Amino acid sequence: MLSQNITGAKIVGDFIATTLGPRGMDKLLYDTDDADDGLGNYFEVTNNGAYLLKRLPFQSPGGRVIARVAAAQEERCGDGTTTTAIYASEILRAVEPLIEQGLHPTTIASGIKEAVTIATETIHAESRPVTLSDDELLTAVAQTTLQGKTAEPILDTLSQWSVEAVRTLAQEHESEVRVNTDLVQIESLRSGTITDTELVDGMVLKKSFAGNYEPTNLDNPNIAVVTQGFARAEAIRHRLSSDSHSSTQTVTYDLSDPDSVDAFADFEVEHVTELLEPLIAADVDVVLVGDRVEDELLPYFDAAEIAVVRNARTDRMQKVARATGATINTHLRDFDSTDTGKTARLERRRYPGIEQNALLFWGGAGEQVVSVLAHGSTWMSGWELERNIMNAIRSVSAAVESGHVVPGGGAIEITVARQLREDAPAVGGRESLVIEAVADALEGIPKTLARNAGMDLVNTLTTLRAAHWNSRKETGVLGQERVVGNVVEQGILEPATSKRYALEAAASVATTILRIDDVLPASS
């Protein structure tokens, strides 16, 4: 069982290893589901380890566990997912011979634990400080995440933006920096090219106004946000229930009788007008609705010069509310003027060839939100671009939150590997063999970077080891140039926490796999 799980993990590791680094290859995912769900035959290109693993139906439990750990890394750091999966599968590969030699999984687990402790200390010792004002270092961190990705054509701009976005969102309390990356909004438009992508200092919503009142620019608009939709029936029901204080009253209109039709129409006008009253009273210019708004009701909004956004997605609605300082109400009737949100300017953009507009909320009165309006000609590049942008922003955040970066391009892995080999004998016993195995596993990263760049593996590794032996700890793989060299000078830097978490997560998942002696299907 154990060897099957290790094999499963190695297969997954080898599979996604080809995507690692600036010379990594993308994978094309396509939906084999023939079901008529409108998604059949859809294609998507990705280079994102966690996403790839999430979308692939790996059958082996070992492989599935690796996919899970990559997802955990994504959640925690936003980057380093392929690295985590490689660490985990390489650790298992490296300890496999020890298992065959009869080392007990418990001994291996304690050796791995010891190795992580040494590695964490080494990463800490090798990291260099970075602050929010360190333009060069932070831009380098963003660039490192974007190398070889879909976003590469706009790498420079995007890196600068990522730093700007993080600065805008950063909050400092007592020398601690916190960045709430939930307040980043990314919308992709299938229009223009990737170089048309722009950063918006505020919230962006990919939506058109529903009615005929569609202003292109509003200064200081008041904004209302409600989750429930409006229909005439609802308006009327509400009126009836407030008249009678019960919702059970029934009024029947005979619509074959012209008088009755008129009466119904009057009734409708009166009560829809009533529905709109709180909005008019609060001088609302735009109402965002998280559900349907009946077409027949739109003219009333037009007449009141209230622009309507309907069927807004919950997460978007919440962000608009946060950005503008609006309070979200369930029903329109609960709305009052204190619930209004504000923004300095609302701009509606149209794009050729696409139906949906973009609404840009500049200078909201609530929390600071930063958006990226990503352009691209296909959805598949749009989605990947969104993931790239998020990776860059989250990496820069991780760098400023932890205040430390380490050399990338496999350099830190070689440094740690060397330290592990140096410390292993002192630990002694069988654990020392495990610690050496972890050192081999970490070298999997520079090896993979070199392999993906088409470099000679043996040469690269010996050159790297020799440089580090001579204390040139900034030596790593320069993936773009396909040579070994100083990665720090080339700005290949990563957040220290990303490496630490990746190793901790990989070690813990490798240990878990080693302890599994049986796999039982569970029904959910």
User: Which residues are at the interface with ligand ADP (CB under 6 A)?
Assistant: 19-22, 24, 49, 79-83, 144-145, 147, 408-409, 445, 449, 477-480, 492, 494
Q: How far is the CB of 495 from ligand ADP (least distance, A)?
A: 11
Dist CA 499 CA 440 (whole Å): 16
DSSP 369: -
Q: How far is the CB of 414 from Mg ion (least distance, A)?
A: 19
Position with the least CB separation from Mg ion: 79
Given 145, 324, 329, 397, the residue binding Mg ion (CB under 5 A):
145
| Minimum separation from the CB atom of position 83 to ligand ADP (A) | 3
CB closest to ligand ADP, residue no: 408
Contact 440, 98 (CB under 8 A): no
- Taking residue 133's Cβ as centre, other Cβ atoms within 10 Å add up to 9
**5: partner contacted, choices Mg ion, ligand ADP, none (Cβ within 5-8 A by kind):** none
Least distance (Å) between residue 81 CB and ligand ADP: 4
Decide: helix, strand or coil at residue 15: helix
Number of residues in contact with Mg ion under rule CB under 5 A: 2
Please identify, using beta-carbon distances, which residue of 137 and 373 lies nearer to ligand ADP.
137
User: Which residues, including other chains, have CB under 8 Å from residue 247's CB and lie 6 or more apart?
Assistant: 237, 240, 241
CB atoms within 10 A of CB 17: 24
Query: Which residue lies nearer to Mg ion by CB, 321 or 492?
Result: 492
DSSP bridge pairs for 218: 346
Q: How far is the CB of 20 from Mg ion (least distance, A)?
A: 8
- The answer to whether residues 161 and 371 touch, using CB atoms and an 8 Å cutoff, is no
Between strands 370-375 and 43-46, the pairing is unpaired
Distance CA 185, CA 204 (A): 7
Give the helix ranges, DSSP H, for 170-257.
232-244
Q: Which CB sits closer to ligand ADP, 15 or 335?
A: 15
Distance in Å, CB of 441 to ligand ADP, minimum: 14
> Which region among 16-24, 141-149, 295-303, 369-377 touches Mg ion (by CB under 5 A)?
141-149
Q: How many CB atoms lie within 10 A of CB 56?
A: 15
**Is 522:8 a contact under the CB 8 Å cutoff?**
no
**Between residue 78 and residue 117, which ones bind Mg ion under the rule CB under 5 A?**
79
Binding to Mg ion, residues 399-428 (CB under 5 A): none
**Minimum CB separation from ligand ADP for residue 443, in Å?**
12
In the bound state with ligand ADP, the residue whose beta carbon lies nearer, of 53 and 433, is 53
| Binding partner of residue 13 among Mg ion, ligand ADP, none, CB cut-off 5 to 8 Å per kind | none
Say which entry of Mg ion, ligand ADP, none residue 22 contacts (CB below 5 to 8 A, set by partner kind): ligand ADP
Q: How far is the CB of 448 from ligand ADP (least distance, A)?
A: 9
Nearer to ligand ADP, 66 or 312 (CB): 66
* Amino acid present at 476: G
Q: Which does 477 bind (CB under 5 to 8 A by kind): Mg ion, ligand ADP, none?
A: ligand ADP
Nearer residue to Mg ion within complex by CB, 79 or 423: 79
Nearer to ligand ADP, 50 or 346 (CB): 50
Contact 317, 288 (CB under 8 A): yes
74 binds Mg ion (CB under 5 A): no
On whether the CB atoms of residues 285 and 223 are closer than 8 A, the answer is: yes
Nearer to ligand ADP, 340 or 475 (CB): 475
> Between 54 and 190, whose beta carbon lies closer to Mg ion?
54
Cβ pair 307, 285 in contact under 8 A: yes
Angle at 376 between CA 18 and CA 207, to 5 degrees: 125
- For residues 389, 395, 401, 406, the Cα torsion angle rounded to the nearest 10 degrees is -160
Q: How far is CA 318 from CA 225, 366, 456, in A?
A: 9, 12, 52
Helix (H) or strand (E) holding 357: none
Taking the complex as a whole, the smallest distance from the CB of residue 490 to ligand ADP amounts, in Å, to 6
Chain residues that interact with Mg ion, rule: CB under 5 A: 79, 145
